[in-house]
Amino acid sequence: MKQTDNVSSADNQQERSQEWLDKVPNDLGYYLTGFVNGEGSFVVSLHKRNDYSLIWKVLTTFSVSQKSKSPLEDLQSVLGCGTLIYEKDAVYRFSVIKIPDLVYKVIPFFERFPFRYDKYINNFKLFSTIVYMLHENEHKTVKGLLKIVSIREKLNEGKGRKRKYTEEDVLKSFLEKSSETIRRDLL
């Protein structure tokens, strides 16, 4: 069997997908990270969906809100993804919700230009873990969904925010299912 020096298509695609990141000037990258550190958030929310087999939809959102549109346009331009909308009270919001954009754009950006403060470092790690789990479809099993919900409980701790659906709500929903279904889903 003849060996070649050709890089696989997947490797080439991965390299190309990161080329944009190498072109981001350090001063701009760190400025945007500092801006996000002050104005951004990483959110994981749950929504009940009767058309889902496990009845729970997990939504991940990276967002930044600001009265000034310019820094948000810079962030959108650098990341090459997301939406920028005008909200009430003269505030603009930039957000990214698509899992591929989070996996291949947002997470690599903040890995290259990391946060400096423990709270954001921790929230980013938790958020990234959940995004990767969603990317790998782990949320489609009871075991995976419960792990995601457990990690979510640690995200943004101490903010005094009440979640619409708690870990307890998710557990109760599974207890209402037949024990045979639960056993099958846990395997």
Q: Tell me what pLDDT residue 124 has.
A: 97
Compute CA 129 distance to the chain's CA centroid, rounded to the nearest angstrom.
Answer: 8
Q: Report the CATH superfamily, name and number, of domain 11-186.
A: Homing endonucleases (3.10.28.10)
> Residue 159 has what pLDDT?
59
pLDDT score, position 90:
84
Q: Provide the greatest CA pair distance for the chain.
A: 66
Predicted TM-score (pTM) of the model is: 0.82
Q: Are 89 and 115 in contact (CB under 8 A)?
A: no
Task: Enumerate residue ranges in the chain where pLDDT < 70.
Answer: 1-17, 158-161, 176-187
Are 42 and 88 a contacting pair, CB within 8 Å? Answer: no
Beta bridge mates, 61 = 43
pLDDT digits (tens, 9 = 90+) for 77-95: 999 999 999 998 889 999 9
Domain ranges of the chain: 11-186
Burial 45-79 (b: 16+ CB within 10 A, else e): ebeeeeeeebbbebebebbbebeeeebbeebbebb
